[in-house]
Structure formats: C-alpha cells, structure tokens
Amino acid sequence: MVARHLISLDDLSDDELHDIVARGAEPSRSRPDSPLAGKVVGIYFRKTSTRTRTAFSAAALRLGANVIAFGPDDLQLNTGESSEDTGRVFSRMLDALVARTADDPEEMRAWADQDRMAVVNAMSADEHPTQALADLTTLAGRFGEIEGLRILYVGEGNNTAAALALGLTRYRGTHLELRTPPGYGLTQDIRERAAKLAASSGAIVHEQHDLDDLSMFDVVYTTRWQTTGTTKPDPHWRTVFAPFQVTTELMDRFPDAVFMHDLPAHRGEEVVAEVLDGPRSIAFDQAENKMHSAMAVLEWCVAGNGGRCAAPA
C-alpha cells in the first residue's frame, strides 16, 4: 500500500473527494473493524487548534491507530534540520503525519517526498483542505446532496474560503457567491483554479466586494476575521470588514438558509450571537463533522482499501 497525501484538494480526484465526503456523512459512522489497528499517526501542530487537532487525534484513535503529538517547540526543525530530512525520518516510523503550519505548503510537499507515510495538511497559509471536506460533509448530511446548492460566503477570502472554492466547484450545478471586503478577497491563483473546476462541473463561482444584488441562497457561511488570531497590517481593517458582518437582517434576506461557520467565532465581529446561537445555525454540527470527515480522510490515505474509498490508480 503506497501512502496517499492530502496537501491540497487538488490531490484528490473528483471520485476520491466525493467518496471521502459521502463516507464522512454516512449515518452509521462507527468503525468496529478498526481499519487503522497497528498504525501510528503523528499530529504536528505549530499553530493553535481546537477542532482540527482534536478531530484528527480522535479520528485516529477511533479507527484503532496510536497517536503521537508534537507541539510547536518539539522538533529539530527548530534548530535547523531540513524539512526533507524530517520527512525521511518520520516516514520510517509513522504511517501518517497530520500537520498544521500556517506557512507555505512547500514544506509539507517536502515531507511528502516519500511514499511510506501519508501527509495531511491540517491548514497551511493558502488552503485548509480538511475544513472544506468537513464543510462538504455537513452539506451532504444536511441537504442529502450537494449538487445544485447555493452558498453565500461573507468575509475574508482566507484559506477556508479558498478550500471551499476548490471543493464546492467539484459538484455539478453548485453556486458559490463570495462577498469579500475590498483588498481581502481570494488570491488570483485560487480564483483561477476554482474557475477552471467550475467550468468543468457546471458550477458557478463569483466574487465581489459588497453585499448588493444577492439572489436566494441555501447557506450563509462566514469565518473569523482574524485567521489563527493574527491581526492585519492596515490599522483601519475593521472599518473595511464591518459591512460584512452576518446579522439577523442579512439572514432575514434568505429565510430558508442555514448558517455555517468554521469556528472559532468572535460573536459581535464576523457574526452576531443571535445568528451563531440561533436555530438556523449548524456551526456545531459542522465542528463535529470535522472528526467524521477526518476518519474518512485517514481511511483514504492510510487504510487504503481497508477503508471504503477508491483504490489508488
């Protein structure tokens, strides 16, 4: 079994992505057969995390694997050991490495330059692929099918938005409408990649920098304004973001829509408490789905055909 890496959603074929999402959303999600028994999963987070780190740790344990956790100060990377050597050493001991760096994904690509240990991106600067898989799992669980869903994303075009754009466009007839503050939109690279995927699936992905001319949506989605708690160089950024808060008035424009948030949330900033804690919010189901989709990811990249996902080509 050759290890499979998930550093970007681009690493998954459409069938693999759809299969992981469907697996995560299955109503009966217990794995009594422990498909990862005897495997060892490393969890290396250089940045803070509540959901993703716990989701992958719990997922590995629920699948029967053992877990080794490394904090930001634990590895010789800090004293100058190369990424390549770190990956080579880890791959002799671990079956999978789940890592959050919040840096350039090239470092993860260096760790993945071997085929013994799977490398999973638990968030890099450009993309948060496992968040998108959890989001798609949530949509599949809530709506039955993802094809044709219309999502309004309000807020910064950060790594969560990027992954959503690269994931939702793999489903036929979906519409992702991004309304991002001026100067804080998707990168050109992500816009172009998402547009290419949309052209092939018949999806729509569109971005503009105001809240005018909105049609009907099934979901309103936002994220924290300060990704991983980092602030922005422009001292006036809050003024630019203020019109993009998700309020009850905004939700009232879409009476049938549910509300999603990748969390952590700052009530009173990107969303008001009445929306996040209200009856239309599925943000905490979405958080739980991080664990269910993490199980599907680990099955795909570590257990191979022991899981339900597609065999390697």
Q: Which residues contact 65 (CB under 8 A, 6 or more apart)?
A: 36, 37, 38, 39, 40, 41, 95, 96, 298, 302
Q: Are 190 and 10 within 8 A, CB to CB? A: no
Binding mask 184-223 for ligand CP (x = CB under 6 A): ----------------------------------------
CB of 213 to ligand CP, least distance (A): 30
CB 34 within 8 A of CB 63: yes
Shortest distance in whole angstroms from residue 192 CB to ligand CP: 25
262 is a contact residue toward ligand CP (CB under 6 A) = yes
Assess 91 for contact with ligand CP (CB under 6 A). no
- Is residue 158 within 8 A of residue 178, CB to CB? The reply is no
The burial class, CB within 10 Å (0-12 / 13-18 / 19+), for 54 is: middle
Residue 256: Cβ-neighbour burial (10 angstroms; 0-12, 13-18, 19+): exposed
Regarding 18 and contact with ligand CP (CB under 6 A), the answer is no
Q: Shortest gap between Cβ of 159 and ligand CP (angstroms)? A: 9
Number of residues that bind ligand CP (CB under 6 A): 10
Closest distance to ligand CP from the beta carbon of 292 (Å):
14
- Residue 65, helix vs strand vs coil: coil
Cα of first residue to Cα of last residue in the chain, in angstroms, is 12
Q: Given the rule CB under 6 A, which of 49-57, 101-109, 141-149, 300-308 is the region that contacts ligand CP?
A: 49-57
Which listed residue (91, 131, 245, 281) binds ligand CP by CB under 6 A?
Answer: 131
Judged by CB under 6 A, the residue of 8, 52, 86, 245 near ligand CP is 52
Distance of CA 256 to the CA centre of its chain: 25
Q: Which of 6, 31, 49, 146 binds ligand CP (CB under 6 A)?
A: 49
Longest dimension (CA), the chain: 55
Residue 301 backbone class (left: φ over 0; alpha: ψ -120 to 50; beta: rest)? alpha
CB of 264 vs ligand CP, minimal distance in Å: 6
User: Of 4, 18, 31, 51, which lies in the binding site for ligand CP, with binding defined by CB under 6 A?
Assistant: 51
Binding string, residues 111-130; x marks residues near ligand CP by CB under 6 A: ------------x-------
* Shortest Å, Cβ 112 to ligand CP: 20
d(CA 313, CA 310): 9
Find the shortest distance in angstroms from Cβ 286 to ligand CP.
9
**Contact residue for ligand CP among 125, 195, 263, 310 (CB under 6 A):** 263
Place of tokens 């671990």: 94
Residues of this chain that bind ligand CP (CB under 6 A): 49-53, 123, 131, 262-264
